[in-house]
Protein backbone atom coordinates (compact mmCIF):
# COMPACT_ATOMS: atom_id res chain seq x y z
CA UNK A 1 0.00 0.00 0.00
CA UNK A 2 1.18 3.51 -0.86
CA UNK A 3 0.14 6.34 1.46
CA UNK A 4 0.74 10.03 0.86
CA UNK A 5 0.25 12.34 3.85
CA UNK A 6 -0.23 15.91 2.64
CA UNK A 7 0.78 19.08 4.46
CA UNK A 8 1.29 17.63 7.94
CA UNK A 9 2.91 19.78 10.59
CA UNK A 10 5.50 17.52 12.16
CA UNK A 11 5.85 17.50 15.94
CA UNK A 12 9.30 16.14 16.74
CA UNK A 13 10.78 17.90 19.79
CA UNK A 14 14.55 17.64 19.59
CA UNK A 15 14.63 17.33 15.80
CA UNK A 16 15.21 20.90 14.62
CA UNK A 17 15.16 19.96 10.95
CA UNK A 18 11.55 18.71 11.15
CA UNK A 19 9.94 20.10 14.29
CA UNK A 20 7.02 22.41 13.49
CA UNK A 21 7.75 22.10 9.76
CA UNK A 22 4.93 21.37 7.30
CA UNK A 23 5.82 18.37 5.15
CA UNK A 24 4.40 15.73 2.82
CA UNK A 25 5.25 12.14 3.79
CA UNK A 26 5.25 9.29 1.28
CA UNK A 27 4.97 5.75 2.64
CA UNK A 28 5.64 2.75 0.39
CA UNK A 29 5.28 -0.86 1.54
CA UNK A 30 5.24 0.20 5.17
CA UNK A 31 8.38 2.37 4.98
CA UNK A 32 8.83 6.13 4.87
CA UNK A 33 10.19 6.65 1.37
CA UNK A 34 10.25 10.43 1.21
CA UNK A 35 9.69 13.50 3.38
CA UNK A 36 9.55 16.79 1.48
CA UNK A 37 7.83 20.16 1.29
CA UNK A 38 5.75 18.90 -1.62
CA UNK A 39 5.36 15.42 -3.09
CA UNK A 40 3.24 15.07 -6.23
CA UNK A 41 0.83 12.12 -6.15
CA UNK A 42 1.17 9.54 -8.91
CA UNK A 43 -2.43 8.40 -8.70
CA UNK A 44 -2.07 5.08 -6.89
CA UNK A 45 -1.54 6.40 -3.35
CA UNK A 46 -4.08 6.65 -0.57
CA UNK A 47 -3.98 10.38 0.12
CA UNK A 48 -4.50 11.65 3.66
CA UNK A 49 -5.51 15.28 3.93
CA UNK A 50 -7.09 16.77 7.05
CA UNK A 51 -7.63 20.27 8.35
CA UNK A 52 -4.78 21.24 10.69
CA UNK A 53 -3.13 17.85 10.22
CA UNK A 54 -0.18 17.14 12.51
CA UNK A 55 2.07 14.07 12.68
CA UNK A 56 4.52 12.59 15.17
CA UNK A 57 6.12 9.25 15.79
CA UNK A 58 3.62 6.72 17.15
CA UNK A 59 2.56 7.05 20.76
CA UNK A 60 3.17 4.60 23.59
CA UNK A 61 0.99 3.56 26.53
CA UNK A 62 2.77 1.68 29.30
CA UNK A 63 -0.29 0.36 31.11
CA UNK A 64 -3.60 -0.73 29.58
CA UNK A 65 -6.11 -3.42 30.49
CA UNK A 66 -8.49 -5.10 28.05
CA UNK A 67 -10.15 -8.15 29.59
CA UNK A 68 -9.43 -11.14 27.39
CA UNK A 69 -9.20 -13.87 28.55
CA UNK A 70 -11.95 -14.09 31.13
CA UNK A 71 -13.56 -10.66 30.84
CA UNK A 72 -14.25 -10.43 27.12
CA UNK A 73 -17.50 -8.57 27.83
CA UNK A 74 -15.34 -5.65 29.00
CA UNK A 75 -12.97 -5.60 26.03
CA UNK A 76 -11.37 -8.11 23.69
CA UNK A 77 -7.74 -7.81 22.70
CA UNK A 78 -8.73 -7.25 19.06
CA UNK A 79 -11.13 -4.39 19.80
CA UNK A 80 -8.82 -2.90 22.40
CA UNK A 81 -5.95 -2.73 19.90
CA UNK A 82 -8.22 -1.18 17.27
CA UNK A 83 -9.23 1.49 19.78
CA UNK A 84 -5.58 2.07 20.67
CA UNK A 85 -4.65 2.52 17.00
CA UNK A 86 -7.45 5.02 16.39
CA UNK A 87 -6.40 6.82 19.58
CA UNK A 88 -2.85 7.24 18.29
CA UNK A 89 -1.10 4.50 20.28
CA UNK A 90 1.08 2.20 18.19
CA UNK A 91 2.56 0.27 21.15
CA UNK A 92 0.78 -0.68 24.37
CA UNK A 93 1.88 -2.65 27.42
CA UNK A 94 -0.87 -4.98 28.64
CA UNK A 95 -1.50 -5.28 32.36
CA UNK A 96 -1.86 -8.71 33.93
CA UNK A 97 -5.46 -8.47 35.14
CA UNK A 98 -7.21 -11.15 33.13
CA UNK A 99 -8.83 -14.39 34.31
CA UNK A 100 -6.74 -16.45 34.52
CA UNK A 101 -3.87 -14.06 34.96
CA UNK A 102 -0.68 -14.71 32.93
CA UNK A 103 1.66 -16.77 35.10
CA UNK A 104 3.44 -18.91 32.53
CA UNK A 105 5.18 -18.66 29.17
CA UNK A 106 2.17 -20.23 27.42
CA UNK A 107 -0.05 -17.46 28.80
CA UNK A 108 2.26 -14.83 27.30
CA UNK A 109 2.31 -16.66 23.96
CA UNK A 110 -1.50 -16.73 23.97
CA UNK A 111 -1.74 -12.97 24.50
CA UNK A 112 0.77 -12.23 21.75
CA UNK A 113 -1.00 -14.60 19.36
CA UNK A 114 -4.33 -12.85 19.95
CA UNK A 115 -2.70 -9.56 18.97
CA UNK A 116 -1.08 -10.85 15.79
CA UNK A 117 -1.78 -8.90 12.62
CA UNK A 118 -2.89 -5.70 14.33
CA UNK A 119 -1.56 -2.21 13.68
CA UNK A 120 -0.81 -1.61 17.34
CA UNK A 121 1.76 -3.93 18.87
CA UNK A 122 0.85 -5.49 22.20
CA UNK A 123 3.57 -6.09 24.81
CA UNK A 124 2.24 -8.21 27.67
CA UNK A 125 3.30 -8.10 31.30
CA UNK A 126 3.27 -11.26 33.36
CA UNK A 127 2.28 -11.66 36.96
CA UNK A 128 5.01 -11.08 39.52
CA UNK A 129 3.53 -13.72 41.82
CA UNK A 130 1.48 -16.84 41.12
CA UNK A 131 -2.11 -15.83 40.51
CA UNK A 132 -1.26 -12.37 41.77
CA UNK A 133 -1.72 -13.69 45.30
CA UNK A 134 1.55 -12.29 46.63
CA UNK A 135 2.77 -15.63 47.99
CA UNK A 136 5.24 -17.06 45.49
CA UNK A 137 7.06 -15.87 42.40
CA UNK A 138 5.56 -16.70 39.03
CA UNK A 139 7.67 -18.15 36.19
CA UNK A 140 9.50 -14.88 35.53
CA UNK A 141 12.34 -16.17 33.40
CA UNK A 142 10.15 -18.38 31.21
CA UNK A 143 7.69 -15.53 30.68
CA UNK A 144 10.56 -13.19 29.84
CA UNK A 145 11.76 -15.61 27.17
CA UNK A 146 8.22 -15.79 25.78
CA UNK A 147 8.02 -12.01 25.42
CA UNK A 148 6.85 -10.58 28.75
CA UNK A 149 8.24 -7.06 29.09
CA UNK A 150 7.77 -6.72 32.87
CA UNK A 151 6.25 -8.39 35.91
CA UNK A 152 3.39 -6.86 37.87
CA UNK A 153 0.50 -7.96 40.07
CA UNK A 154 -1.88 -5.40 38.63
CA UNK A 155 -3.06 -2.89 41.29
CA UNK A 156 -2.26 -5.36 44.08
CA UNK A 157 0.17 -4.36 46.78
CA UNK A 158 2.85 -6.85 47.75
CA UNK A 159 2.85 -7.08 51.53
CA UNK A 160 5.75 -9.56 51.67
CA UNK A 161 8.86 -7.35 51.52
CA UNK A 162 11.16 -10.36 51.31
CA UNK A 163 9.36 -11.61 48.20
CA UNK A 164 9.93 -8.27 46.46
CA UNK A 165 13.57 -8.40 47.55
CA UNK A 166 13.95 -11.86 45.99
CA UNK A 167 12.19 -10.74 42.80
CA UNK A 168 14.52 -7.75 42.39
CA UNK A 169 17.56 -9.97 42.92
CA UNK A 170 16.35 -12.77 40.65
CA UNK A 171 15.27 -10.52 37.77
CA UNK A 172 18.78 -9.08 37.51
CA UNK A 173 19.89 -12.38 35.96
CA UNK A 174 18.02 -11.51 32.76
CA UNK A 175 17.69 -7.70 33.09
CA UNK A 176 14.02 -8.05 33.98
CA UNK A 177 11.79 -5.19 35.10
CA UNK A 178 9.87 -5.59 38.37
CA UNK A 179 6.79 -3.45 39.01
CA UNK A 180 5.25 -2.78 42.41
CA UNK A 181 1.90 -1.11 43.02
CA UNK A 182 2.41 1.61 45.65
CA UNK A 183 -0.29 0.96 48.22
CA UNK A 184 -0.02 -0.48 51.69
CA UNK A 185 -3.15 -2.60 51.93
CA UNK A 186 -3.27 -2.43 55.73
CA UNK A 187 -3.39 1.38 55.62
CA UNK A 188 -5.78 1.56 52.65
CA UNK A 189 -8.02 -1.07 54.29
CA UNK A 190 -11.59 -0.69 52.97
CA UNK A 191 -11.17 2.81 51.59
CA UNK A 192 -12.70 3.87 48.28
CA UNK A 193 -11.46 7.43 47.70
CA UNK A 194 -8.76 9.81 48.86
CA UNK A 195 -8.90 10.43 52.59
CA UNK A 196 -9.43 14.15 53.14
CA UNK A 197 -12.02 16.87 53.54
CA UNK A 198 -14.12 15.64 50.60
CA UNK A 199 -14.32 12.02 51.78
CA UNK A 200 -15.21 13.20 55.27
CA UNK A 201 -17.94 15.50 53.97
CA UNK A 202 -19.41 12.80 51.70
CA UNK A 203 -19.14 9.99 54.24
CA UNK A 204 -16.96 7.83 51.99
CA UNK A 205 -14.21 5.61 53.37
CA UNK A 206 -10.79 7.10 52.65
CA UNK A 207 -7.44 5.85 51.36
CA UNK A 208 -4.81 8.22 52.78
CA UNK A 209 -1.85 9.29 50.66
CA UNK A 210 0.19 7.69 53.44
CA UNK A 211 -0.82 4.27 52.12
CA UNK A 212 0.96 5.04 48.85
CA UNK A 213 3.94 6.80 50.34
CA UNK A 214 4.66 4.18 52.99
CA UNK A 215 4.69 1.35 50.45
CA UNK A 216 6.76 3.40 48.01
CA UNK A 217 9.36 4.26 50.65
CA UNK A 218 9.66 0.58 51.56
CA UNK A 219 10.07 -0.46 47.93
CA UNK A 220 12.75 2.15 47.34
CA UNK A 221 14.67 0.98 50.41
CA UNK A 222 14.52 -2.57 49.04
CA UNK A 223 15.75 -1.41 45.64
CA UNK A 224 18.66 0.41 47.27
CA UNK A 225 19.56 -2.82 49.08
CA UNK A 226 19.21 -5.23 46.16
CA UNK A 227 19.92 -3.25 43.02
CA UNK A 228 17.95 -4.20 39.94
CA UNK A 229 15.23 -2.38 38.03
CA UNK A 230 11.99 -1.19 39.61
CA UNK A 231 9.00 0.52 38.04
CA UNK A 232 6.28 2.17 40.12
CA UNK A 233 3.01 2.37 38.16
CA UNK A 234 0.60 5.28 38.62
CA UNK A 235 1.78 7.36 41.53
CA UNK A 236 -0.75 9.92 42.76
CA UNK A 237 0.59 12.08 45.62
CA UNK A 238 2.93 15.04 45.96
CA UNK A 239 5.04 13.20 48.53
CA UNK A 240 5.47 10.27 46.11
CA UNK A 241 6.95 12.62 43.52
CA UNK A 242 9.46 13.79 46.11
CA UNK A 243 10.37 10.23 47.11
CA UNK A 244 10.99 9.24 43.48
CA UNK A 245 13.11 12.35 42.90
CA UNK A 246 15.25 11.55 45.94
CA UNK A 247 15.71 7.94 44.80
CA UNK A 248 16.82 9.04 41.33
CA UNK A 249 19.33 11.45 42.85
CA UNK A 250 20.82 8.47 44.68
CA UNK A 251 21.28 6.73 41.35
CA UNK A 252 18.65 4.03 41.89
CA UNK A 253 17.28 2.42 38.73
CA UNK A 254 13.65 3.41 39.31
CA UNK A 255 11.00 4.81 37.01
CA UNK A 256 7.37 5.72 37.55
CA UNK A 257 4.24 6.67 35.64
CA UNK A 258 1.12 8.70 36.30
CA UNK A 259 -2.42 8.17 35.02
CA UNK A 260 -3.91 10.97 32.95
CA UNK A 261 -6.96 11.23 35.24
CA UNK A 262 -4.79 11.87 38.31
CA UNK A 263 -3.39 14.89 36.46
CA UNK A 264 -6.69 16.22 35.15
CA UNK A 265 -9.13 15.61 38.01
CA UNK A 266 -9.22 15.96 41.79
CA UNK A 267 -11.36 14.44 44.51
CA UNK A 268 -13.71 17.43 44.25
CA UNK A 269 -15.33 15.53 41.36
CA UNK A 270 -16.70 12.99 43.84
CA UNK A 271 -19.51 15.35 44.87
CA UNK A 272 -21.71 13.74 42.19
CA UNK A 273 -21.03 10.17 43.39
CA UNK A 274 -20.36 9.24 39.75
CA UNK A 275 -18.65 5.85 39.91
CA UNK A 276 -16.55 6.64 36.81
CA UNK A 277 -14.51 8.78 39.22
CA UNK A 278 -13.74 5.74 41.38
CA UNK A 279 -10.16 4.93 40.39
CA UNK A 280 -7.17 3.24 41.95
CA UNK A 281 -5.08 5.04 43.02
CA UNK A 282 -7.84 7.49 43.94
CA UNK A 283 -8.17 11.06 42.71
CA UNK A 284 -6.40 13.24 45.24
CA UNK A 285 -6.22 16.95 46.04
CA UNK A 286 -5.28 19.90 43.86
CA UNK A 287 -1.82 20.16 45.43
CA UNK A 288 -1.19 16.55 44.41
CA UNK A 289 -2.21 16.99 40.77
CA UNK A 290 -0.10 20.16 40.59
CA UNK A 291 2.92 18.30 42.00
CA UNK A 292 2.38 15.48 39.50
CA UNK A 293 2.34 17.90 36.57
CA UNK A 294 5.49 19.56 37.90
CA UNK A 295 7.10 16.12 38.25
CA UNK A 296 6.32 15.40 34.60
CA UNK A 297 7.81 18.67 33.45
CA UNK A 298 11.07 18.22 35.38
CA UNK A 299 11.48 14.55 34.43
CA UNK A 300 10.86 12.96 37.84
CA UNK A 301 7.83 11.14 36.43
CA UNK A 302 8.85 9.20 33.35
CA UNK A 303 5.67 8.95 31.31
CA UNK A 304 1.89 9.27 31.26
CA UNK A 305 -0.45 6.32 30.88
CA UNK A 306 -4.14 6.17 30.04
CA UNK A 307 -4.51 3.47 32.71
CA UNK A 308 -7.26 2.22 30.38
CA UNK A 309 -9.44 -0.11 32.46
CA UNK A 310 -12.73 -1.22 30.89
CA UNK A 311 -15.39 -2.16 33.45
CA UNK A 312 -18.80 -3.43 32.40
CA UNK A 313 -21.93 -1.51 33.30
CA UNK A 314 -23.09 -3.98 35.98
CA UNK A 315 -20.01 -3.15 38.05
CA UNK A 316 -20.37 0.61 37.70
CA UNK A 317 -24.11 1.24 38.06
CA UNK A 318 -24.17 0.29 41.72
CA UNK A 319 -23.65 2.08 45.03
CA UNK A 320 -20.31 3.89 45.11
CA UNK A 321 -18.89 1.61 47.82
CA UNK A 322 -19.67 -1.47 45.73
CA UNK A 323 -18.51 -0.17 42.34
CA UNK A 324 -15.37 -1.53 40.72
CA UNK A 325 -12.35 0.71 40.25
CA UNK A 326 -11.32 1.97 36.85
CA UNK A 327 -11.93 4.20 33.86
CA UNK A 328 -11.24 3.79 30.16
CA UNK A 329 -8.79 6.33 28.81
CA UNK A 330 -7.26 5.53 25.43
CA UNK A 331 -9.66 7.73 23.47
CA UNK A 332 -9.28 10.78 25.74
CA UNK A 333 -5.65 10.71 26.90
CA UNK A 334 -4.25 13.02 24.24
CA UNK A 335 -7.04 15.56 24.59
CA UNK A 336 -6.67 15.63 28.36
CA UNK A 337 -2.89 15.85 28.37
CA UNK A 338 -2.75 18.38 25.54
CA UNK A 339 -5.19 20.57 27.49
CA UNK A 340 -2.85 20.55 30.49
CA UNK A 341 0.69 20.84 29.12
CA UNK A 342 0.45 21.87 25.46
CA UNK A 343 1.15 19.97 22.27
CA UNK A 344 4.93 19.70 22.26
CA UNK A 345 5.12 18.35 25.79
CA UNK A 346 2.07 16.11 25.33
CA UNK A 347 3.66 14.44 22.31
CA UNK A 348 7.01 14.18 24.05
CA UNK A 349 5.39 12.46 27.04
CA UNK A 350 3.28 10.14 24.91
CA UNK A 351 6.34 8.96 22.98
CA UNK A 352 8.42 8.25 26.10
CA UNK A 353 8.68 4.99 28.05
CA UNK A 354 9.35 2.33 25.44
CA UNK A 355 13.00 1.98 26.41
CA UNK A 356 12.06 1.01 29.97
CA UNK A 357 10.32 -2.08 28.59
CA UNK A 358 13.04 -2.83 26.00
CA UNK A 359 10.73 -1.82 23.15
CA UNK A 360 12.41 -0.25 20.12
CA UNK A 361 11.62 3.44 19.74
CA UNK A 362 10.45 4.57 16.29
CA UNK A 363 12.02 7.32 14.22
CA UNK A 364 10.67 9.81 11.72
CA UNK A 365 13.01 9.89 8.76
CA UNK A 366 13.36 8.43 5.31
CA UNK A 367 14.16 4.72 5.02
CA UNK A 368 12.62 3.54 8.30
CA UNK A 369 9.33 1.72 8.98
CA UNK A 370 6.40 4.12 9.21
CA UNK A 371 5.22 4.40 12.80
CA UNK A 372 3.14 7.57 12.95
CA UNK A 373 0.29 9.23 14.82
CA UNK A 374 -1.94 11.78 13.06
CA UNK A 375 -3.85 14.43 15.00
CA UNK A 376 -5.21 17.96 15.30
CA UNK A 377 -3.90 19.57 18.51
CA UNK A 378 -6.18 22.61 18.38
CA UNK A 379 -9.75 21.30 18.10
CA UNK A 380 -11.68 21.73 21.33
CA UNK A 381 -14.75 19.55 21.90
CA UNK A 382 -16.86 17.94 24.60
CA UNK A 383 -15.97 14.27 24.98
CA UNK A 384 -19.09 12.11 24.64
CA UNK A 385 -20.21 8.52 24.17
CA UNK A 386 -19.88 9.00 20.43
CA UNK A 387 -16.12 9.35 20.83
CA UNK A 388 -15.80 5.99 22.61
CA UNK A 389 -14.76 2.93 20.63
CA UNK A 390 -14.22 0.69 23.65
CA UNK A 391 -16.78 -1.97 24.45
CA UNK A 392 -17.13 -0.59 27.99
CA UNK A 393 -18.18 3.04 28.33
CA UNK A 394 -16.88 3.88 31.82
CA UNK A 395 -15.03 7.06 30.88
CA UNK A 396 -14.05 9.61 33.50
CA UNK A 397 -13.84 12.23 30.71
CA UNK A 398 -17.49 11.99 29.64
CA UNK A 399 -19.04 15.44 29.14
CA UNK A 400 -15.67 17.10 29.76
CA UNK A 401 -14.21 19.67 27.37
CA UNK A 402 -10.79 18.65 26.06
CA UNK A 403 -8.45 19.99 23.41
CA UNK A 404 -6.95 17.83 20.68
CA UNK A 405 -8.48 15.24 18.35
CA UNK A 406 -6.67 12.14 17.10
CA UNK A 407 -7.16 11.15 13.47
CA UNK A 408 -5.48 7.75 13.73
CA UNK A 409 -2.15 6.02 13.22
CA UNK A 410 0.04 4.13 10.76
CA UNK A 411 2.25 1.12 11.52
CA UNK A 412 3.04 -2.40 10.34
CA UNK A 413 1.93 -1.49 6.82
CA UNK A 414 -1.56 -0.71 8.14
CA UNK A 415 -3.57 2.45 8.67
CA UNK A 416 -6.42 3.10 11.11
CA UNK A 417 -8.32 6.37 10.82
CA UNK A 418 -11.32 7.83 12.61
Instruction: Report the helix count and the strand count for the chain, using DSSP H and E.
Output: 12, 17
Instruction: Tell me which H or E stretch contains 223.
Output: helix 209-226
**Is 307 noted as a catalytic residue in this protein?**
yes
Number of other residues whose CB lies within 10 A of the CB of residue 42: 9
CB of 264 within 8 A of CB of 336?
Answer: yes
**What are the distances in angstroms from CA 121 to CA 34, 134, 317, 349?**
24, 29, 33, 19
Distance separating alpha carbons of residues 306 and 62, to the nearest angstrom: 8
Distance separating alpha carbons of residues 64 and 330, to the nearest angstrom: 8
Q: What angle in degrees, to the nearest 10, is found between the helix axes of 105-114 and 77-86?
A: 60
With H, G, I as helix, E, B as strand and everything else as coil, classify residue 31.
Answer: strand
| Rg of the chain (C-alpha set) | 21
Q: State residue 396 phi and psi, 5-degree precision.
A: -70, -20
Distance separating alpha carbons of residues 380 and 382, to the nearest angstrom: 7
CB of 406 within 8 A of CB of 86?
Answer: yes
Q: Is 189 left (phi over 0), alpha (psi -120 to 50) or beta?
A: left
Distance separating alpha carbons of residues 311 and 325, to the nearest angstrom: 8
Catalytic residue (one of 103, 307, 363, 378): 307
DSSP string, 186-199: HHHTT--EE-SHHH
Number of other residues whose CB lies within 10 A of the CB of residue 272: 8
Distance separating alpha carbons of residues 377 and 404, to the nearest angstrom: 4
Mind telling me the catalytic residues?
307
Amino acid sequence: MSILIKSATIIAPGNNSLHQKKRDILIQRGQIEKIASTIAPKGSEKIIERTNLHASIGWFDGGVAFGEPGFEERETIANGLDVAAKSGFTDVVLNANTNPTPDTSSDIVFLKDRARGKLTDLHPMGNLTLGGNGKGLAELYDMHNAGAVAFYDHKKSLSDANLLKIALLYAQNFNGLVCSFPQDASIAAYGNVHEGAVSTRLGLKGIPALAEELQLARDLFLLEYTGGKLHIPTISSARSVKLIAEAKKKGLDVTCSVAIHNLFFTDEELETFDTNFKTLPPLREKKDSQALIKGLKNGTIDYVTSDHTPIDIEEKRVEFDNANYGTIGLESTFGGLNSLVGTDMAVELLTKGRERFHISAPDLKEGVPANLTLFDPDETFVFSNGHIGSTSKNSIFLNRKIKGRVFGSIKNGKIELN
